């Protein structure tokens, strides 16, 4: 059963969401809050699978709270549940799993839960077993593509790109569009080979062929397939340390 935490400063909205989640028989609500204060510490302690997060909070903005939640390990899936549709792009830039609008519809809530459940199934397939010492020891990663679970060879991955809460995995031969957020893959990949270089990009270091200086101390990476991947200032220091330039 999925464990959920709700952050919303409207009691009626919280009650409505709790009612629909309970009806699904798939969710245990382990906590709720009407403000930002204490929310991070509670989520860190309770370790929910999902956080349903309103955007317009009385004391803060749900988008800024989502950035803090992303630092919690293990990172819960974030679902924005709000009356405002104009923040959808910003929400997905933060690797939100979904974005649902008030008033809530039971069918729409169920679709979100199904999506998260499928993501968990794929993630569990990549967990180490008692016979392995680390993730992906067999050199493969499982991804959910159009209701099918496909095994991709890690050595074939060039880079991963996040857009609107979904991820595009670019391999030597093909591209795959999947529903998981980039942060989900970041936890699965071998950090000796893969590096996050931008909020929206993770690259395979073996396929970088050129580093192009860009504006304001940033860079572009020219990949083996000719693609260009941006490096934001936040990640420049680690890139330099890893590649020694």
The pLDDT score that the predictor gives to residue 129 is 39
3-state secondary structure of 127: coil
The pLDDT score that the predictor gives to residue 123 is 58
Pick the more confident residue, 128 or 117: 117
Query: CB within 8 A of 223, min separation 6: which ones?
Result: 158, 159, 203, 207, 208, 209, 229
What are the respective helix, strand and coil percentages of the chain, to the nearest 5?
Answer: 35, 35, 35
Distance spanning both ends of the chain, measured CA to CA? 48
The pLDDT score that the predictor gives to residue 63 is 87
The pLDDT score that the predictor gives to residue 30 is 95
The pLDDT score that the predictor gives to residue 222 is 96
Pick the more confident residue, 121 or 206: 206
The pLDDT score that the predictor gives to residue 124 is 56
3-state secondary structure of 71: coil
Does residue 71 carry a pLDDT above 90?
no
The pLDDT score that the predictor gives to residue 122 is 53
Please give the average per-residue pLDDT across 75-92, as a whole number.
84
pLDDT 10s digits, 157-194: 999 998 877 799 999 999 999 877 788 788 788 888 99
The pLDDT score that the predictor gives to residue 184 is 79
DSSP 61: B
Pick the more confident residue, 127 or 175: 175
pLDDT 10s digits, 131-152: 333 445 568 888 888 778 888 9
What is the pLDDT of the chain when averaged over all its residues?
Answer: 85
pLDDT 10s digits, 11-52: 999 999 999 999 999 999 999 988 777 788 899 999 999 999
Tokens in use for 199?
A: 């909020």
Please give the average per-residue pLDDT across 88-116, as a whole number.
86
The answer to whether the beta carbons of residues 185 and 209 sit under 8 Å apart is no
pLDDT 10s digits, 216-226: 888 999 999 99
Categorize the per-residue pLDDT at 115 as very low, low, confident or very high, splitting at 50, 70 and 90.
confident
Does residue 201 carry a pLDDT above 70?
yes
Please name each of the domains of the chain with its CATH number.
2-125 (3.40.50.2300), 140-243 (2.40.50.1020)
């Amino acid at each position: 059963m999925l464990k959920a935490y709700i952050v919303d400063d409207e009691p009626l909205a919280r009650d409505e969401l709790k009612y629909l989640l309970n009806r699904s028989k798939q969710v245990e609500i382990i906590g709720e809050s009407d403000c930002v204060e204490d929310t991070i510490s509670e989520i860190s302690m309770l370790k929910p699978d999902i956080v349903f997060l309103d955007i317009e909070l009385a004391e803060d903005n749900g988008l800024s709270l989502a950035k803090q939640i992303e630092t919690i390990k293990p990172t819960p899936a974030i679902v924005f549940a709000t009356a405002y549709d104009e923040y959808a792009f910003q929400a997905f830039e933060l690797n939100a799993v979904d974005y649902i609008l008030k008033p809530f519809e039971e069918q729409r809530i169920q679709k979100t839960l199904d999506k998260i459940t499928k993501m968990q199934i794929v993630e569990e397939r990549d967990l180490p077993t008692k016979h392995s010492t680390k993730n992906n020891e067999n050199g493969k990663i499982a991804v959910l593509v159009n209701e099918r679970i496909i095994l991709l060879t890690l050595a074939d991955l060039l880079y991963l790109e996040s857009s609107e809460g979904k991820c595009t995995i670019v391999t030597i031969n093909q591209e795959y569009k999947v529903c998981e957020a980039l942060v989900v893959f970041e936890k699965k990949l071998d950090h000796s080979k893969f590096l996050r270089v931008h909020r929206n990009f993770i690259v395979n270091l073996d396929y970088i062929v050129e580093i192009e200086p860009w504006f304001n101390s940033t860079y572009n990476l020219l990949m083996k397939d000719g693609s260009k991947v941006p490096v934001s200032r936040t990640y420049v220091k680690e890139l330099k340390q890893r590649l020694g330039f």
